[in-house]
Amino acid sequence: MSELIDRFAPDFTLPTVAGTRFSLSDWRGQPIVLAFWSATCAWSRRADVMLVYRQLKWTPRGVRIVAVASHPDEPAKQILLEAETRGLKFPIALDATQSVARQYGVTIAPSFFVVDALGLIRYAGAADDATPEQPRPTRMYLDDAVNAVLESQYVPVPTSPPSGCPFPGLSRD
């Protein structure tokens, strides 16, 4: 994922669980948090709690959030049910073929990217430094990245290793 830092975010168009289509390029000109997501992963569930609150804080500042569901064994109905249960108010794009996950080099859910208003990827990795061995985070990478992008500053830690659930069919190289 680190080879994408400071490069233009690969554009994609996917169907959403709401029955519409989502194109990343439609949001060009705004900071974007791109979250590769899974309905069945406990780590995604944990990140969703944070994203629900961050969306309330970030939306007035122009930051948009989109999730990309790239688990091939999760049907749209299950994804929609989980999104409603978790109170998610951002679009969830369906990447059943995992083509977008491959473009971004994602193998684990959740994985995050912060894209600046110009369309450049400024951060790739985990939401925070929590791991199974250290479940309580001490550093909020995603917050730091979004704040840096909003302040037109360099992201202090541009990449971090994600912790979570492997996507079937995708492997780390």
Domains detected in the chain = 2-10+27-166 (3.40.30.10)
Report the distance separating Cα 7 and Cα 39, nearest Å.
29
Say what the pTM is: 0.95
Q: Cβ–Cβ contacts within 10 Å for residue 45, how many? A: 16
pLDDT one digit per residue (tens) for the chain, 173 residues: 579 999 999 999 999 999 999 999 999 999 999 999 999 999 999 999 999 999 999 999 999 999 999 999 999 999 999 999 999 999 999 999 999 999 999 999 999 999 999 999 999 999 999 988 888 999 999 999 999 999 999 999 999 999 899 998 887 65
